[in-house]
Amino acid sequence: MSLWTASELADATGGTASTDFAVSGVAFDSREIEPGDLFIAMRGEATDGHLFIDRAMAAGAAGVICERPVDHPHVLVADSAAALTALGHAARARSSATIVGVTGSAGKTGTKEALFHALDRMVPGTVHRSVKSYNNHVGVPLSLARMPRDAKFGVFEMGMNHAGELAELTRIVRPHVALITTIAPAHIGNFSNGEEGIADAKAEIFQGLEPGGTAIVPHNNRHYPRLYAAAQAHAHVIRRFGSQSDSETRLIDAIPAPEGGSLITAQIGDARLCFRVSAPGEHWVMNALAVMTAVDAAGGDLAIAGLALADLPGMSGRGERMQVATPDGGAALLIDEAYNANPASMAATLALLGQERANHRIAVLGAMKELGETSDSYHAGLSAPIMAARVDHVILVGDEMAPLADALAKSLEWQGTIAHVPAADAALPALLAVLGDGDALLVKGSNSVGLSALVRALAARPAASAMSREGV
C-alpha cells in the first residue's frame, strides 16, 4: 500500500500533478532519500532544495513537490513549505489512529521513544512516531506526512522556544492524549516572565486536544497548578502523575534494580503494578510514570508496556551508555547526553553520574543556550550538583561556562580539577589527560556546542567497540 499517490498529494496541497506516481516515504533532505520516497524541495535561508532535485531522483525518489516545473514526476505548488504543512494536515485527517502528543522542557524525546516501544510491543508494526527530534514547524508536519494510513497509534513530539509555537503545532497533530513531561528553565531567555511563561507555552499543547481528550500533567512540578488550570479549559479528562496521594498515577516506591535502572511500584488508576525501567536515574522514574499514564489513557496494555520499559534501547545523545578505551589501556564508562541541556537536565544527569561506582567521575559539560539574562546564575548554580555528585574532574566547554569555573575555583568544598576550554574540539585533549581505567564520564551540553563529535571520537578509539553496551 502506497503512502501517497500523486492525486492525493495534489488534493492535499492544492498543487498540480505532472503524472501519476506513488510514494512510500517523505523527506525534505536529499541526503535522507530512500527508494520510493517523495522529495519536498523547499527554499531555506542557506540553500534551495530545488538545487538537489536531481540528486534526490538519482537516490531513488519517486516524485517531487516543487515550486517550478522539472523533468521528473512532480506536484507543482506555490509554496513547498506550505505544501508540507498541508500534507501534515491531510495525513492527520485521514488517520483513524489514536494520537499522543508529547512536550516538556526535558525528557520529551526519551518519553516519546519509550511510549513508542510500549505501544509497539502491544501491536507490532502499527505504531508511528516522529523520528529524531523532528518537533518544530517543519518536523511535525513531516512526521505526520510519514504516518502510514493504517497506523493504529501515532506518537508525536512537539517542541517550542517561543510562545505560540505549540498552539500551532498541536492544532496540526490534534492529539487524543496530550502529555507534558516537566517544566524547567529551557529557552528561558526567550520569555520575559520566566518559567511561568514556559509553563504557559508548554500548556498550549492542550489547545489541540480532540473532543473527549486526555491531558497528562506532572503533579510534582511546581508549575502544576498553572498546567492543571490550562488543561481544564480543553481536556475532558486530566490525569496527574507524581508521588502525591491524590495523583491518578501515584508513585508508591522506586528502588535501584539489580539489572540496572529502577524497580517501580505505582498505582495507575485502579491497577497497582510493579515494573522495571531500564533507564537509570530519578528523572526516568517520573518519565516512566508519564509513559504508563499515556499508555493507559490511549487504551494500551499496562503489563506489556511494563515489559517494554524494562527493555528500552539506548538513545544516542540522550543517555546511551558505552565503554570507551582509555589512554592507559583500560576502559571507562561513557554516558552520552550530548544532544541537549538545561539546568534541570544537567542536575539530573550529574546526580546519575554520582551514583556510578568509579575510580574517578569526570564531567564534560557544554554551555546551556537560550538562558538569557539568567545564564550566568544558572551556569554557576551547577557547582552544587557537581559537588554533590563527587565529581573529580570537570571539563567546561564554551564562554558561558566561565561563571561555573569561577564558582568551583572559589569553593572551599571543591577538591577536583577544572579545565575550561573555548570549544568542543579542545575538550578531547583535556579529557584524555585525566581519563583512566575504571572511570565514569558524563558528556552533556546544548546540541549547538557540538559535544556529539567528542562522543564519536571517544567511541572510535581502538578497543572501544568490543566493549560497547547500551544503558538508557
Helix H, strand E, coil C: the string for 32-87 is: HCCCCEEEECCECCCCEHHHHHHHHHHCCCCEEEECCCCCCCEEECCCHHHHHHHH
Distance CA 310, CA 455 (A): 25
Distance CA 63, CA 74 (A): 5
Phi, psi of 413 (to 5 degrees): -85, -25
Per-residue pLDDT of the chain (472 residues; tens, 9 = 90+): 799 999 999 999 999 999 999 999 999 999 999 999 999 999 988 889 999 999 999 999 999 999 999 999 999 999 999 999 999 999 999 999 999 999 998 889 999 999 999 999 999 999 999 987 788 889 999 999 999 999 999 999 999 878 899 999 999 999 999 999 999 876 666 666 778 989 999 999 999 999 999 999 999 999 999 999 999 999 999 999 999 999 999 999 999 888 888 999 999 999 999 999 998 888 899 999 999 999 999 999 999 999 999 998 777 777 888 999 999 999 999 999 988 888 888 998 999 899 899 999 999 999 998 888 889 999 999 999 999 999 999 999 999 999 999 999 999 888 999 999 999 999 999 999 999 999 999 999 988 899 999 999 999 887 644 333 333 3
**Cell numbers of 472, please?**
538508557
pTM: 0.82
Q: Residue 114 half-sphere exposure, CB side, CA atoms within 13 Å?
A: 34
The answer to whether 384 and 377 are in contact (CB under 8 A) is no
Distance CA 442, CA 451 (A): 11
The answer to whether 41 and 67 are in contact (CB under 8 A) is yes
Count other C-beta atoms under 10 Å from residue 19's C-beta: 10
Distance CA 166, CA 160 (A): 6
* Secondary structure class of 252 (helix, strand, coil): strand
**Cell numbers of 29, please?**
533532505
Nearest to 298 by CA among 415, 129, 184: 129
Domains of the chain: 4-83 (3.40.1390.10), 95-310 (3.40.1190.10), 320-467 (3.90.190.20)
- Cα three-residue angle 436-437-438, rounded to 5 degrees: 115
Count other C-beta atoms under 10 Å from residue 310's C-beta: 16
Distance CA 421, CA 463 (A): 27
